[in-house]
Structure 1
């Protein structure tokens, strides 16, 4: 099992590194950091200390940032690998020193501030920060409560934090990703936003997932929707690639008045309820025909309620430094008045499970159900999706009979639930685990490079 060590420096023109006395490796011929490698004299620490001591000359040749005080040591092919360097790739950079990534700077500053406690070396960069000729990158670091830029080697692994599908679809991003993977062998984790329909189609034959899947289809016909409404009482029509609950429509049929009803949020953010005696006319009124091909139809679930309002659950899972899935956060979300979703911007409210369930036994049963579903579905997604998945945000519903249902899986989950004061510790855990997975992936690349990239 690898561990992190304290890192010290000493002044000399010689390229020397002293290894901790507990680090048992011989015949070391080179030292590397990210994409850079240097020849160096490598010895056990002369004072018998369990720390890493590196000469100023060697640190400079490896472009090791001056503020690094904790580091991991890996050994592969007679080379000591320092790090790992974890590059967090994103877009939306600005020229402002206080907010280099705009409004998302606060999130990234929290993520990068974990460097010393985890022993990894994380930095944020974008497509314009790469020096391809020299294999270097101008990384953004958050050190001692302020932002700094340092030129460092290309990283060992890359954590994809692009903010939206639009930036992900740009050809420049695709080219950069392909080049870093093929020329430098750098794996990316959490690449790609999930397509909602694609997730369901890939999981529908997986034994570990099928019990959690509501009936879900691409739009085909009006009769298809009417059939599902007759069977389930109500259906949801929502974008295959939507987020934040935007574009979600709930259709129901009132047997007393024989009217079709649709609940949705309009472009102005107002909750709307529209009725019609004709389902086809109602659908055409609220969802343009040209948009329907981009929508999916999903079975409605009769959810448990709190004070008469529907409740669903957000569950975060992360892979840890051992490559194992962990549940890192669970929260309940209560729908706003008249809202078709539980999103906060639409009047929803976040609650802890303890707040939602006054009965401790019911609270614990629900917690276990959600954890079991999240771990099972995380493994199923990993089996059925391409790329390295390090974190997932699940939206679950629980029906009035106690059954758990999957509504959505998000590869880049939002963090609005962490505004709740009782979820602060979970917010920290999710950040730690998102970087810890980079540590695991670095080891996998060294141990099985061909398996990792084929």
Structure 2
């Protein structure tokens, strides 16, 4: 006789998937996980943390970590088998470990559990997916794989500014900026800017060969893409982009949870906060550039674009996704551009976005639970 893994009357159970590394109980942002557990309690769901080595899909109980809010500590305990697994393995290298991949693939194939956001995004794959549809192609800057000096020279001929980005990069690490200028005797010069913590290191090259040698050395063995530079609208001389959080809601439908803005630091080639960027109100920034009426219109168009982009990413990935953050830019004419998406968003610092994001994590988990029970 087969014992059902889930009682149909059991409250929705969501496990936050991570890993341990032998030095701590589990990896990941513990304060974020604690907030998700507390949100689960508020909305009637059981939420706990589980490490990949404790996932046993044939069992009706698993070892997990429940949060004790009074002691602000995590306690290892037997937990009911989850209806939903929310993948928050924090680093690509950890996620690609054979044992972790084995568990993730088993969860994807399983009829007992719903896993969503099974992997990090690859930047090159994102642009390939979005170029497949006319509805999303319009938001994509010219983007190619960085492979030869000839390809780089061609892109620099077409666009005076080009960005080089690691395919598996995070938080602006490893990004390079190239600008083609006209120097003495009407000859081209290439200025290479590299972010070093919160400062920029500049170097001028007088030939593509010299530039390529430097770029090739800086990228090492990492895969890179090269991308058309967009002239973003700015606030008091500092460029900014929009950070959009898109999540599935209680009906399992993609919806924008909130939009924030990140302003580039004075000595930064990106808007990422760890690289010196700062947080601002998007309506304030857009109103400064375009006026109040047009700023409101741009934000509406941004929301529509983000949902269309999320749908296309999920469709092309062939995976079950539940949330992603996006970096979208607005150029000086008001056109919206897509730069990046992250399948494991960092916490948004804006309180209203943060609160709503936690609610939606639980609401979508409950939706998946109900969907599984109907099935």
Q: TM-score, normalised to structure 2's length?
A: 0.90
Residue of structure 2 equivalent to 1:332:
261
Match among 226, 233, 252 for residue 304 of structure 1: 233
1:436 aligns with 2:352: no
Supply the distance in 1 between the matched residues of 2:23 and 2:96 (Cα, whole angstroms). Answer: 24
Q: Hey, what does 1:64 align to over in structure 2? A: none
Q: Distance in 2 between matches of 1:103 and 1:82?
A: 28
**2:221 & 2:82 partners in 1: Cα distance?**
42
Partners of 1:330 and 1:341 lie apart in 2 by: 18
Aligned to 2:298: 366
* Contact 1:318–1:433 (Cα < 8 Å) also in 2: yes
**1:342 is paired with a residue of what secondary structure?**
coil
C-alpha RMSD of matched pairs (Å)? 2.4
User: In the alignment, which of 125, 147, 153 is matched to residue 198 of structure 1?
Assistant: 125
1:110 equivalenced with 2:42 (yes/no)? no
Question: Corresponding residue for 1:174?
Answer: 101
Q: Work out whether residues 198 and 268 of structure 2, in 8 Å CA contact, stay in contact via their aligned partners in 1.
A: no
Residue in structure 2 matched with residue 262 of structure 1 by the alignment = 192
- Shift in CA distance, 301/81, structure 1 to aligned 2, threshold 3 Å: same
Q: CA offsets per residue over residues 346-400 of structure 1, 9 Å max, x none?
A: 1111101233234432331221121111011111112211221100111011111
Residues paired across the two proteins, number: 366
- Conserved 8 A contact 2:329-2:339: yes
Aligned counterpart for 2:272 among listed residues 313, 326, 343 = 343
What CA distance in whole angstroms lies between the structure 1 residues aligned with 2:177 and 2:171? 15
Q: Deviations over 1:125-176 (max 9, x none)?
A: 1023346774421222224343333312221111000101011100111122
Instruction: Provide, for residues 168-222 of structure 1, a one-character-per-residue CA deviation record: whole Å limited to 9, x for no partner.
Output: 1001111222334445532210110000000111121212211101111112322
Match of 1:86 in 2: 14
Which residue, 150, 154, 170 being the options, matches 1:223? 150
- Output the CA distance in 2 between the equivalents of 1:432 and 1:304: 33
- Per mean C-alpha deviation after superposition, the further-off stretch among 235-244 and 364-373 is 364-373
For 1:352 and 1:272, locate their aligned partners in 2 and report how far apart those are by CA, in whole Å.
Answer: 29
Residues 405 and 131 of structure 1: CA distance in aligned 2, closer, same or farther (over 3 Å): closer
- Given that 1:312 and 1:332 are in contact with CA atoms closer than 8 Å, whether structure 2 keeps it comes out as yes
**Partner secondary structure for residue 337 of structure 1:** coil
Q: 1:212 aligns with which of 120, 126, 139?
A: 139
Q: Specify which of 86, 101, 119 is matched with residue 44 of structure 2.
A: 119
Separation in 2, partners of 1:176, 1:207: 36
Distance in 2, matches of 1:152 and 1:431, equals 21
Which structure would you say has the larger Rg? Answer: 1
Over residues 292-346 of structure 1, what are the superposed CA-to-partner deviations in whole Å (9 max), with x where a residue is unaligned? Answer: 7711111111111111111111101000110111111211111111311011121
Distance 2:32 2:146 in 1: 37
In the alignment, structure 1 residue 318 sits paired with structure 2 residue 318: no
Q: Is the 8 A contact 2:26 2:51 kept in 1?
A: no
Structure with more relative contact order (C-alpha pairs < 8 Å, separation 6 or more)? 2
- Shift in CA distance, 404/117, structure 1 to aligned 2, threshold 3 Å: same
Distance apart, 1:289 and its partner CA: 7.9
Distance 1:127 1:312, change over 3 A: same
1:413 to 345, 357, 361: 345
Moved more, 321-330 or 170-179: 170-179
CA distance in 2, matches of 1:290, 1:143: 44
Are 1:240 and 2:144 an aligned pair?
A: no
Q: What CA distance in whole angstroms lies between the structure 2 residues aligned with 1:429 and 1:172?
A: 34
- 1:376 and 1:187, CA in 2 relative to 1: closer, same or farther beyond 3 A? same
Of stretches 293-302 and 102-111 in structure 1, the one that deviates more from structure 2 is 102-111
In the alignment, the residues of structure 1 paired with residue 320 and residue 126 of structure 2 have an alpha-carbon distance, to the nearest angstrom, of: 15
Gaps of 5+ in 2: none
Residues 15-50 of structure 1 show CA distances to partners (whole Å, capped at 9, x for unaligned) of xxxxxxxxxxxxxxx996xx245xxxxxxxxxxxxx
